[in-house]
């Protein structure tokens, strides 16, 4: 990445700039790939960009950073995503 030599405070882009925000999560979105109709509503509405859109418009969830807000589950019209409490034994 290009670094700049100027006398001011510059920050550089980084995934997880606030750390692994996945550990904020209380509920984990679980996707049922069988049910999913690839409408991409969860992808466009995820505030964290942690619903990953694949080339074939199928989706995956990035659990390292997903904050567990539950919006993806809420906007999915066919309930292909359900929120499950994170287990204590991880």
Binding footprint of ligand SF4 on the chain (CB under 6 A): 29, 31, 36-42, 46, 48, 50-51, 59, 61, 66-72, 75-76, 78, 80-81
Quick one: what does residue 9 bind among another protein, ligand SF4, none, with the CB cut-off 5 to 8 Å set by partner type?
A: another protein
Task: Look at the block and give the residue holding tokens 């750390």.
Answer: 19
Contact 59, 40 (CB under 8 A): yes
Residue 88, Cβ neighbours under 10 Å: how many? Answer: 5
Question: Rounded CA gap, 61 and 31, in Å?
Answer: 8
3-state secondary structure of 74: helix
- From 36, 53, 82, 86, residue interacting with another protein (rule: CB under 8 A): 53
- From 5, 18, 34, 77, residue interacting with another protein (rule: CB under 8 A): 18
* Binding-site ranges for another protein (CB under 8 A): 9-21, 24, 39-41, 43-50, 53, 57, 62, 64-71, 73-75, 83
């Amino acid at each position: 990445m290009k670094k700049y030599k100027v006398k001011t405070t510059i920050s550089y882009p980084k995934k997880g700039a606030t750390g692994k925000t996945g550990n904020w999560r209380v509920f984990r979105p679980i996707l049922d790939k069988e049910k999913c109709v690839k409408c991409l509503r969860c992808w466009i509405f995820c505030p964290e960009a942690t619903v990953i859109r694949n080339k074939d418009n199928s989706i995956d969830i990035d659990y390292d950073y997903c904050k567990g807000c539950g919006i993806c589950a809420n906007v999915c019209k066919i309930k292909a995503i359900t929120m499950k409490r994170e287990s204590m034994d991880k």
